[in-house]
Amino acid sequence: MANVNKIIGSLATAINKVSGSAISGLSKIIGATISLWSNTKSLSHGVVNGTDAVYAASTASDFQLIQTDAWSVSFWIKVGWTSSFNNTIHFIASNGPAGVQDNMWRIRYNETNNRLYIGWRSASNERSNNFWYFHRTGAGEAALQTGLGTTYWSSGNTGYVNANGFTLITLTKGTTITATAANVTTYWNGQNIGDAFYVNGSNNGTPAMDAAVARNFAIGNNSWTYAGQGGNGVASLYDEVALWDKELSSAEVLEIWGGAGVLGETTGAPTNLQTSSMAANLIGYWRFETDGTVSTVGSATLTLDGSSTTVTTPA
């Protein structure tokens, strides 16, 4: 059934109800499961530093992004760390096999200073790095746009989430070499928090990444030692992790969110991004619908170490 995309000429993803029951709640139609549509699983990332890892080693060329490429990352997360975490969570990271300075890019949250970072660097450590400061309280800035207020992001202060307690995080990048406010944008659910961008991040030289170097790719860990969340709190949940080879527009981000785009709304929910208007630009996509390791788009198969596993807790 997972391969059937039409029922009597209508897209299956557009059909919300069959005989008055939501299709996401149906487990079978004529004896065939519909797990691909029902979004029944997410990834539970372990909490023991260095032993719980989720990664794909030496991925295919599709993932070998460089500083002049436009790209975007989107993922749903239900946070598990507490307010006493005082460490860094790598949400998405990628680098070559030689370590942190080998053609690396990453997205991470530092709970100590309440900042969301984006950065990339080349093998000789030329780098561009910048962040959004979640305490910024002005109009259109992070404290308001995220619903976090002036309290740090944690399982006790989730900010605006959907009905299942998940937040959609999307970061987009243009073709400029450095991480400037005009080149990178972050969205919380459907809201742009770009006005909170800090324009004086850590920059050193001009990055010159090598597109020929195969990359590791990690979810919830750094991608060079696979260290994770440091053992504080409970496991965080990830769902619908996607990598795009374009700078997504605000309208496209809103399409991923699936809500109306009103500040604080809870109506957002994942849909199958393979049927989205920007499906042609998907280069990596994990729905965690089967064993949690197979990439629905792209060739990178994840390894789940330690207590990291798939669970029936969908976004």
Nearest in space to 274 (alpha carbons), one of 287, 261, 291: 287
pLDDT, residue 308, reads 86
Q: Which residues contact 50 (CB under 8 A, 6 or more apart)?
A: 225, 226, 227, 228
Domain edges within the chain: 6-38, 42-311
At 146, give phi and psi (nearest 5°): -95, -20
Phi, psi angles (nearest 5°) of residue 311: -135, 160
Greater confidence, 87 or 263?
263
Q: Summarize the confidence of residues 27-32 as an average pLDDT.
A: 24
How far is Cα 164 from Cα 110, in angstroms, rounded to an integer?
24
CA torsion 180-105-302-1 (nearest 10°) is: 20
Q: Which amino acid is at 247?
A: E
The CA-based dihedral angle spanning residues 209, 210, 211, 212, taken in that order and rounded to the nearest 10 degrees: -160
Give the pLDDT confidence score for residue 202 in this predicted structure: 79
Could you tell me the two tokens for 290?
């089967």
Going by the DSSP 8-state scheme, the letter that residue 153 receives in this structure is P
CA 196 to chain centre: 19
Residue 7 has pLDDT above 60, yes or no: no
- When pLDDT is cut at 50, 70 and 90, the band that residue 207 belongs to is very high
Q: Report pLDDT for 67.
A: 96
Q: Is residue 253 within 8 Å of residue 187, measured between CB atoms?
A: yes
Residue given tokens 């496209």 in the structure block:
252
Whether 303 and 294 have beta carbons less than 8 Å apart is answered as no
Sign of torsion over alpha carbons 93, 99, 104, 109: positive
- Judged by average pLDDT, the poorest of 122-126, 144-148, 267-271, 304-308 is 304-308
pLDDT band at 249 (very low <50, low <70, confident <90, very high): very high
Q: How confident is the model at residue 52 (pLDDT cuts 50, 70, 90)?
A: confident
CA distance 145 to 185: 13
Residue 85, CA atoms < 13 Å, CB-side half-sphere: 31
- To the question of domain 42-311 being in CATH 3.40.1260.10, the answer is no
Q: What is the per-residue DSSP string for 228-291? A: -STT-SS-EEEEEEEEESS---HHHHHHHH-S---TT--------GGGSTTGGGEEEEE---SS
The model's pTM: 0.85
Q: Position of tokens 């849909």?
A: 271
Residue range 139-157: average pLDDT? 93
